[in-house]
Amino acid sequence: MKMILKKGVLIVIEGIDGAGKSTQAEILLDRLKAKGYEVAYFQEPSESKWGREIKKRALFPDSLSPDEELDLFLKDRRENVERNLKPALKEGKIVILDRYYYSTIAYQGAKGIDKEMIRKANEEFVVKPDLVFVLDIDAKRGLERIQDRKNKDKLFEREDYLVKVRKIFRNFKGENIVHIDALKPRDEISEEIEESILKYLHTFETNGVRLS
């Protein structure tokens, strides 16, 4: 059975490096597809020229000042919102997004930029997410999990820094924010995420959005 939503749903997965975001996004995509939902998957930094620039620069330590980082992430996000997110949501898809502006508040905030200013600069143009899952892991274990990756980024993957980033992630509050202990077994986490989404879609449905 195909499930067609009248309005798209934006689901964001957040957390420090090594929290397991991409793994969970992959499982979630498969599960929702199997249930008949139309889904799309995007990541930030994205594939835009700004996103590619960030990934290139991130291989070298101190290649960007915090303000330059913020500027590049904002440019990349504007493009991702217009080119990818809005069209997919307009088609009624469930959009799974691996990192969003919560990452900017946490990562660039941890480099000393005012967190409220970052939030405001983003909220001027972003699509507000329906649900945000924050996968929580301590910096040491997060880094251990990704130690075999080939392209190590030198701008962000440092323990002392990720300790601060994690702290900011843990402080996000709001009715659309769900904190999850990323040390729990992978399948338990994916079930928890799926359950929250299905519950959310159900209220959505009873609020007059037809599923056919």
CB of 205 to ligand TMP, least distance (A): 31
Between 37 and 100, name the residue whose CB sits nearer to ligand TMP. Answer: 100
CB of 17 to ligand TMP, least distance (A): 5
CB of 149 to ligand TMP, least distance (A): 9
User: Which residue pairs from 153-161 have beta carbons closer than 8 angstroms and sit at least 24 positions apart in sequence?
Assistant: 153/55, 153/58, 153/59, 154/58, 154/59, 154/60, 154/61, 154/63, 155/57, 155/58, 155/60, 155/61, 155/62, 155/63, 155/64, 155/69, 156/17, 156/58, 156/107, 157/17, 161/110, 161/111
In the complex, the residues that contact ligand TMP under the rule CB under 6 A are: 17, 44-45, 58, 73, 99, 103-104, 107-108, 153, 156-157
Between 37 and 50, name the residue whose CB sits nearer to ligand TMP. Answer: 50
CB of 143 to ligand TMP, least distance (A): 11
Between 59 and 198, name the residue whose CB sits nearer to ligand TMP. Answer: 59
Between 149 and 202, name the residue whose CB sits nearer to ligand TMP. Answer: 149
